[in-house]
Chains A and B, each alone.
Chain A
Amino acid sequence: MSHGQLLVFEVTILVLAIFLGFEVISKVPTLLHTPLMSGTNAIHGIVIVGAMLVMGAGHKDTLTWVIGFVAVILASANVVGGFVVTDRMLEMFKRRRPERAPTDEDGKPPPQ
């Protein structure tokens, strides 16, 4: 693929991703705004792939090495921290569920 064709292809998927990004979260309750923000925050941790590619390639001078190394550290913090924080937020929401229909081991409502 020539450079021009590749560029057109990349721009095509970029534009499609814009529409998809708007569409996929069109109806989200207020309650989930923060977890969703945190979840998308984790997803842009995908820059770790870029950081790995920059750092991983051989034939590099010290400056590139240092920049790449710092980028890998920052991006890993983004990925791990992002997903863990989101999970902790959502864990809180989860725990409320059993209270909506309290049951004991037999599946019967507990005596009041």
Chain B
Amino acid sequence: MSHTTRDLLYLVTIVTFILALRFLSRPDKARWGNQIGAVGMLLAIAVTFAQSEVVSYWEIAVGMVIGGGFGAVAARRVKMTAMPQMVALFNGVGGGAAALISWAEFHNRVPAHGNLKLDISIAIMLSALIGSISFAGSMVAFAKLQELIKGRPITYPGQQVVNGLVVTAALAAGIAIAAGGEEQWLMWALLGCAAVFGVLFVLPIGGADMPVVISLLNAFTGLAAAATGFELENNVLIVSGMLVGASGTLLTLMMSRAMNRSIANVLFGAFGQVSAGAAAAATSDGGTVRAASAEDVAVMLAYAHKVVFVPGYGLAVAQAQHDVRQLADLLEEKGVEVSYAIHPVAGRMPGHMNVLLAEANVPYPQLKEMDEANPEFGRTDVALVVGANDVVNPDARSNEGSPIYGMPILNVDQAQTVVVLKRSMNPGFAGIENPLFYNPKTVMLFGDAKESISKLIEDVKSL
């Protein structure tokens, strides 16, 4: 295949990616957009196979079967609740691939002295640096969401200094390479320090902020891919990588805006530090928590006029969406008006709750977005909070010391009664105390969300 044909076919791939991004931002065509992107990707792979430079077909095919097989099985088997960490994992391996490409290019080009032109060496440095950060950072994000390590911010004294030293070391190695350094250990130092920085960078960020971090690392991987395009003089890599770099950056900003926080506030540990003070303040109020039995709550629900379900991550963990739907149907039969209030960042990714409730076939008109739901809490008899915490924390409205101060929340405390389904009194994923639980209007129903809801269903039936 001639280079002209190759580049024209790569252009077709680029067009499919642009259309994919366009359609993915429209609800009615999103799925189609993803599929057209996949077709473009297949085309690019086929075109690359047909290159005369590419001779090791079998080895590549074996690698693809291993990697693709793992990707397909992992993506098919994963539960809907574990989607965010899968995105982190797949983003990480992409970043790792970009870093490895730059290592191979460096290793291959160096033996011929002076073979490394300035622009190539800069590209190698950037893709190694960014790719390695993205790989290691994504793996930490994955581990946090998978709860392999603590989701809470991990901090220690002198953290900023250590981070500063590591990033300086990575940059120094990178600059040495960009300036024409040809020793292999420079590359190892660059990859190693960048990976350590990736880990240190994500560790202090709270689990609730992970979607924003994953989105940022996603943009990073795009940039690293674009940089490998300069190393390999390949347009499809440059354009596709940069498209992801740019749109990913914008998306990161949009996501942090949806939480009403600045991106700097999300990234630079302010979360962990402030929350210690706020937590102390909340507990010193000395409020008491009222626990209720399922029977009590069942009576409240069955004799209410209007019940609003407020789902959160606990619903996802317990896979209680079908039970919630069943309880809602039962209440409707008894003439109770039922709706669901969906906070835009409830769960661990925007749209998480919509996905789960759609799986349980909850009627669309019952799902209320935050702006629509909030005015209705005033005339709601029971707000049933199923495993949500930070998105209903009144501190976001009133406590300026709280790390989530200013985040728009669902005003469940305006309802007559608030019932909170929760596993225990442990603070939520972000590690912030919630005064809602100490509110005299609130009763707690402790236990796994699915079990609690099943009990409620039985008790409502027996009434």
Contact = CB atoms under 8 A, between A and B. Distances in A.
Q: Do A and B come from the same complex?
A: yes
Interface of A: 3, 6-7, 10, 13-14, 17-22, 24-58, 60, 63-65, 67-96, 99-100
Interface string B61-96: 001111111111011101010011011011101101
Given A18-B245, A28-B254, A69-B59, A42 B41 contact: yes
A59 B60 CA distance: 15
Contacts of A84: 71-72, 75-76
Given A25-B250, A33-B254, A17 B238 contact: yes
A51 to B, nearest CB: 5
A81 B83 contact: no
B90 A78 contact: yes
10 contacts: A20-B243, A21-B245, A37-B248, A41-B94, A46-B13, A47-B94, A77-B70, A80-B72, A83-B41, A90-B30
Interface in B224-244: 224-226, 228-244
A24 B299 CA distance: 51
Contacts of B234: 49-50, 53
B101 A32 contact: no
Contacts of A79: 41, 45, 68, 71
A74 B113 CA distance: 31
B358 A52 contact: no
A44 B134 CA distance: 12
B312 interface: no
Interface of B: 13, 17-18, 20-22, 24-27, 30-31, 33-35, 37-38, 41, 44-45, 48-49, 51, 53-57, 59-60, 63-72, 74-76, 78, 80, 83-84, 86-87, 89-91, 93-94, 96-98, 100-101, 103-105, 107-108, 117, 119, 211, 214-215, 218-219, 221-222, 224-226, 228-251, 254-255, 258, 344, 349-352, 354-356, 358-359, 361, 363-365
Given A36-B25, A44-B240, A74 B94 contact: yes
A43 B119 CA distance: 25
Contacts of B27: 29, 31-32, 93
B254 A52 contact: no
Contact of B246 (A18, A50, A51, A52): A18
B209 to A, nearest CB: 14
Contact of B93 (A32, A65, A77): A77
B38 A83 contact: yes
B343 to A, nearest CB: 10
Given A50-B98, A52-B48, A53-B53, 15 more contacts: A20-B246, A21-B246, A36-B25, A39-B37, A43-B222, A44-B241, A47-B224, A49-B237, A53-B234, A72-B60, A78-B94, A79-B45, A83-B34, A85-B83, A93-B30
Contacts of A58: 55-56
A33 B353 CA distance: 13
Given A72-B63, A87-B35, A44 B24 contact: no
A93 to B, nearest CB: 6
A47 B67 contact: no
A5 B358 CA distance: 53
Contacts of B55: 56-58
Contacts of A13: 235, 238-239
Contact of B241 (A25, A46, A74): A46
A38 B101 CA distance: 23
A55 B56 contact: yes
Nearest to B245: A21
A45 B168 CA distance: 29
A42 to B, nearest CB: 6
B41 to A, nearest CB: 6
Given A27-B25, A51-B101, A73-B66, A91 B31 contact: yes
B115 to A, nearest CB: 12
Given A58-B56, A81-B71, A41 B245 contact: no
Contact of B37 (A25, A75, A83): A83
A37 B218 contact: yes
A103 B199 CA distance: 52
A28 B251 contact: yes
Contacts of B67: 72-78, 80
A30 B351 contact: yes
Given A77-B70, A81-B74, A87-B35, A71 B97 contact: yes
A34 B119 contact: no
Given A46-B240, A67-B100, A87 B31 contact: yes
Given A39-B34, A92-B80, A54 B351 contact: no
Contact of A71 (B13, B86, B100, B230): B100
Contacts of A53: 48, 51, 53-54, 232, 234
A7 B255 contact: no
A37 B244 contact: no
A100 B37 CA distance: 28
